[in-house]
Every structure is written in structure tokens, then in C-alpha cells.
């Protein structure tokens, strides 16, 4: 298993444990996330690109992985993801810049070789 997939698996496992410990709270959180990420005034691709940028600025490896994967699935191109990274770095400075390496790992794992 690759590094990004492993990080995503680790968080999924921890969220499963948390769901067993505090099921009502986690159901509310899960329902909220599901509702927010549905198409609305913004399409799913746009929402996933925003979430990716937020993941980069907040330095969340898992967020970068999952939202890269979901943005690609929603039709985003690697070029669009790199442009999101530039906006994230503009807003997050040097610390966000270091997490661009996590975007590279996610693209290496999730983008088809012919478009990465």
C-alpha cells in the first residue's frame, strides 16, 4: 500500500473507532459533510478543489489525499490541482508550501499515469 493510501486508511480506521465511541456526534458530522459536498450552487468538482486548498493551508495530509482523490474523480485535472496549490501557498505561506509534497504523493497514487 502506498503512503497516501495508508494515511487515508489510518484516518478511516480512527474515525470508525470514534464512531463507535460517540455515534451520535459522528453521525451528525458525517451527515453534515455529506450535505456540504453535494452539488448545489457549486458543483462537486469545485467543492473538492476548495477542500483541497483548505487541506493544504491547514497542513492535513489526510485531507490532501482524500480531496485530491475526490477532485480527480469529479473531473479535475492535475493542472487544476496544481493551480489550487498555488492559491493555497499564497494564503498559507511556507508551511503550506511544504505540504505541496503531499499533493505530489497523492497525484502519484491517484492520477492516471497518462495525465499525471
- Write down the pLDDT at residue 1: 57
Fold of 3-110: AhpD-like (1.20.1290)
Q: Which residues contact 52 (CB under 8 A, 6 or more apart)?
A: 63, 64, 67, 68, 71, 81, 84, 88, 103
Q: What is the pLDDT of residues 45-74, one digit of tens each?
A: 999 999 999 999 999 999 999 999 999 999
Domain segments of the chain as ranges: 3-110
pLDDT at position 112, please? 75
Confidence of residue 14 (pLDDT cuts 50, 70, 90): very high
* Reported pTM: 0.90
Amino acid at each position: 500500500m502506498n503512503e497516501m493510501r495508508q494515511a487515508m486508511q489510518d484516518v478511516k480506521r480512527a474515525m470508525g473507532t470514534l464512531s463507535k465511541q460517540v455515534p451520535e456526534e459522528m453521525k451528525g458530522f458525517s451527515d453534515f459533510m455529506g450535505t456540504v459536498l453535494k452539488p448545489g450552487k457549486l458543483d462537486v468538482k469545485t467543492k473538492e478543489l476548495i477542500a483541497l486548498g483548505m487541506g493544504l493551508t491547514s497542513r492535513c495530509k489526510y485531507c490532501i489525499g482524500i480531496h485530491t482523490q475526490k477532485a480527480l474523480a469529479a473531473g479535475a485535472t492535475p493542472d487544476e490541482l496544481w493551480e489550487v496549490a498555488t492559491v493555497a501557498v499564497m494564503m498559507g505561506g511556507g508551511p503550506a508550501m511544504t505540504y505541496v509534497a503531499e499533493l505530489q504523493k497523492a497525484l502519484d497514487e491517484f492520477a492516471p499515469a497518462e495525465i499525471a
